[in-house]
Structures are given as structure tokens and as C-alpha cells.
Amino acid sequence: MRPRIKLASDCLPDGRPIELFEHDGHHEIRCGGLSLMGSRMRHSEEELARLACQGLRSGARVLIGGLGLGFTLRATLDLLPPDGTAIQVELMAAVVEWNRGPLGHHADHPLDDLRTELVLADVTKAVRRYEDDLDAILLDVDNGPNPLVAEENAWLYKPVGLQRMRRALRPGGCLAIWSSEEVPSFPARLRKEGFCDVEAHRVTARPNGKGPRHAVFLGRRP
């Protein structure tokens, strides 16, 4: 069996190490010894985009929180009109560098697409720049509402964060949130903060229905 090779490493703002590994042609990003994302399982990230971005209007603007290995960005670009914009927000410059380097081929180099606007920032701050402007917001920055990898991301799932993202959307715009697990109480929280057409979808990490099961929560601004 071929060994797992560490290609690069960096630190999160809180000092925890984040590392890039390669094994037998596949790549994995790990934090504190735990796997955050990998190229072997991409289906749930692609479903996040598919569920949120069907039927986008001409000139649509979609904000994506969390670059990962670029799978959500690629799936969004595949659904985006030619005159649309995918605003990719990523906190870690190292993750961007890795996507421009050894990870790029997995999602067919989505950062090179002219419709991609890269914003190097914390998504909890970046989303506050928009008002009645976005057709969709896709969040894949953590494990979802519960549990959190980074406590500072809790703002996104609190009433103040949900209300702020609702205001950033255009009327009819969609908020889609990836979660590592089902959170039965979360749809009610979305409704309470003014979202309509709220849905919870179970998705698998692999397109054949195998692998870990995750959740995607959807809600629209009325």
C-alpha cells in the first residue's frame, strides 16, 4: 500500500494546524488529526450547489462560503448562466494556494473560471457586505449548525446571522447550508428567522448512495 504523504501545512487563526495529504492520487485536508474534506467523497458538496442553484436567472450572483477542494464552486459554475458570478469566500490563503496547485484538477480548476470572484475573508464578515444582492448563499464552512469545528462560525446559525444572510439575498433568493449531520430543530429555526419554503435533504458523500450521510438545509427569502 502506498504511504500517505503530507504535502503542505498551515495554521488556522486559532493556531490549530491544517494539513494537506496525498494518497494514491487522492487528496485530503485535515485539521488537528481529523479529516475535513477529501477528493474521494464529493457528492454532498455537489448536491449543495444543485439544490440551491437550479433555474438561476441571467446575471445571477451566488456567494459560496468555504472553498474546500472546489467541488461546490465547480458545481455552481456548471449551473451558473454565462453572465453570472460565483463569489467564492475562503478564509485560508493556503487553501486557495493548494486549489491553484495540487488540488486544482479534481474540480477542473474552478478558480480559473472568469465568472469566479475570489474573496479572501471570513464569511461571517464577507456576507455583511451585501444587501438585496445575492441570488443564493451556499455555506460549507464547518460541520454545519451542530457541532462546530470553529466556534466563531456559530454566528452564521444564530438569529442575527440568519437574519443578516436573509437580508443579503434578493427576494426569492436561496440560503443553502451543508451539515455533517441532521439537525431536526434547524428547519424551524430558519422559519422563525423569516425564511420560507424550508427543506431538509439527506445526501450521501458518494453518488452511488454509499458513504457517510449528510444534510442540506434550504430556505428562501420571501
The residues, ordered by sequence, that sit 6+ positions from 80 with a Cβ below 8 Å of its Cβ are 53, 56, 60, 62, 86, 115
Asked if 107 contacts 33 with a C-beta cutoff of 8 angstroms, the reply is: no
Confidence of residue 4 (pLDDT cuts 50, 70, 90): confident
pTM, entire model: 0.94
Domains of the chain: 41-220 (3.40.50.150)
Res 15: pLDDT: 86
| Residue of higher predicted confidence among 18 and 137 | 137
Q: Is the pLDDT of residue 81 over 80?
A: yes
Asked if 143 contacts 179 with a C-beta cutoff of 8 angstroms, the reply is: yes
Res 147: pLDDT: 58
Confidence of residue 212 (pLDDT cuts 50, 70, 90): confident
Q: Is the pLDDT of residue 106 over 70?
A: yes
Q: How many Cα neighbours within 13 Å face the side chain of 170?
A: 13
Confidence of residue 70 (pLDDT cuts 50, 70, 90): very high
Mean pLDDT of 16-20: 91
Tell which residue, 164, 78, 76, has the closest CA to residue 127: 164
For 47-66, the pLDDT digits (tens) are: 999 999 999 999 999 999 99
Tell me what percent of the chain is helix, strand and coil, each rounded to the nearest 5: 30, 35, 35
The residues, ordered by sequence, that sit 6+ positions from 119 with a Cβ below 8 Å of its Cβ are 87, 88, 89, 90, 126
Mean pLDDT of 75-96: 97
For 152-196, the pLDDT digits (tens) are: 788 999 999 999 999 999 999 999 999 988 899 999 999 999 999
Joined grid coordinates for residue 103: 488540488
